[in-house]
């Protein structure tokens, strides 16, 4: 199997649960508080590793207690800390997450050391990437860093998967250049509507049209995740929908990262994109049944059991 190489963020998630999300200006009391490893990059690397991929994470942490804990957590999850950049003079990235009783959440991210992961920090990737590898990117680190990593992947013959979240303001030339190098673009409904410049449609067939339209920006294929309605995709030849799997939703934090990690793992294993999307939806559903991001990511056995039950 080829490898999954992730360039992205590593954060500490500070999570609390509330009965309902507050409105602006309102204070509500949280039922609990927890510190957990997170960050889109780290989450997606751990998601792929937990399913059996050889996963590498290129990320940055601060020279602080949070950074040391994240390094230990990643090593325990089977992620080699060799590619972690330790930054003095800045804090480790922090995400403040509030989860409501229905599983919905709000998230505020303080990037901290993640912004120190610049283009020069990924220059060594060219020596690590090989044909067949899958480079996984998100946008919680600098765009020029992502562009440098994608350029290195293209030169090495590796594939590029971009989860375009959080989405920068429209018209960014670096994002436009990055999209030209992407093999599989993954976006949610809000990001898809913003990138396409179209109002969010209501029907699944119309979302397939949006996925097809996003390919004009450069990606060979596009996947739009629709939460409880599953996902749609278009690869240039065919568009299709993937229904959601049943889920007992406790916390939606990390569901998108579970999807992306499973998608990358399946691609590295040589599976067709339709099967990769199916496995991504299954992994996302499983991740919603537990609290947290990395702590909720499914194992290969759990994923196989869910998929076998559908057959």
Buried b (16+ CB within 10 A) or exposed e, 134-144: bbbbbbbbbbe
Show the tokens assigned to 304: 């196989």
Question: 236: burial class by Cβ within 10 Å (0-12, 13-18, 19+)?
Answer: exposed
List, in order, residues 6 or more apart from 296 with CB less than 8 Å away: 251, 253, 254, 258, 286, 287, 288, 289, 290
The Cα 13–Cα 97 span in angstroms is 7
Q: Is the dihedral of CA 92, 50, 232, 228 positive or negative?
A: negative
Considering 73, 90, 251, 257, which one is annotated as catalytic?
Answer: 257
Q: How far apart are the first and last CA of the chain?
A: 25
Please report which residue ranges of 157-247 form alpha helices under DSSP H: 173-179, 189-196, 204-214
The Cα 311–Cα 145 span in angstroms is 41
The Cα 192–Cα 195 span in angstroms is 5
The Cα 68–Cα 133 span in angstroms is 28
The Cα 310–Cα 301 span in angstroms is 14
The Cα 144–Cα 119 span in angstroms is 6
Active site residue 257: yes
- Name the packing angle between helices 40-50 and 65-76 (round to 10°): 20
Show which residues are catalytic.
257
């Amino acid at each position: 199997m080829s490898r999954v190489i992730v360039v992205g963020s590593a954060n500490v998630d500070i999570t609390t649960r509330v009965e309902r999300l507050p409105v602006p200006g309102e204070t509500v009391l949280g039922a609990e508080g927890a510190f957990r490893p997170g960050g889109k990059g780290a989450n997606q690397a751990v998601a792929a590793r937990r399913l059996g991929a050889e996963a590498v994470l290129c990320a940055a942490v601060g020279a602080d207690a949070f950074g040391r804990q994240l390094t230990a957590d990643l090593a325990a999850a089977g992620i080699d800390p060799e590619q972690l950049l330790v930054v003095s003079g800045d804090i480790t990235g922090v995400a403040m997450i509030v989860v409501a009783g229905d599983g919905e959440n709000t998230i505020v991210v303080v990037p901290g050391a993640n912004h120190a992961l610049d283009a020069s920090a990924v220059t060594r990737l060219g020596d690590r990437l090989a044909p067949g590898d899958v480079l996984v990117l998100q946008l919680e680190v600098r765009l020029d860093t992502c562009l440098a990593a994608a350029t290195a992947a293209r030169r090495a013959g590796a594939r590029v998967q971009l989860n375009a979240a959080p989405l920068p303001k429209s018209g960014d030339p670096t994002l436009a250049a990055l999209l030209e190098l992407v093999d599989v673009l993954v976006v949610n409904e809000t990001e898809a509507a913003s990138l396409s410049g179209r109002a969010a449609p209501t029907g699944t067939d119309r979302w397939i049209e949006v996925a097809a339209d996003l390919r004009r920006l450069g990606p060979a294929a596009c996947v739009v995740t629709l939460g409880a309605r599953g996902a749609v995709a278009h690869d240039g030849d065919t568009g299709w929908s993937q229904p959601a799997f049943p889920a007992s939703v406790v916390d939606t934090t990390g569901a998108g990262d579970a999807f992306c990690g499973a998608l990358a793992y399946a691609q590295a294993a040589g599976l067709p994109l339709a099967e990769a999307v199916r496995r991504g939806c299954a992994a996302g559903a499983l991740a919603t049944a537990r609290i947290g991001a990395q702590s909720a990511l499914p194992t290969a056995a759990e994923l196989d059991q869910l998929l076998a039950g559908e057959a």
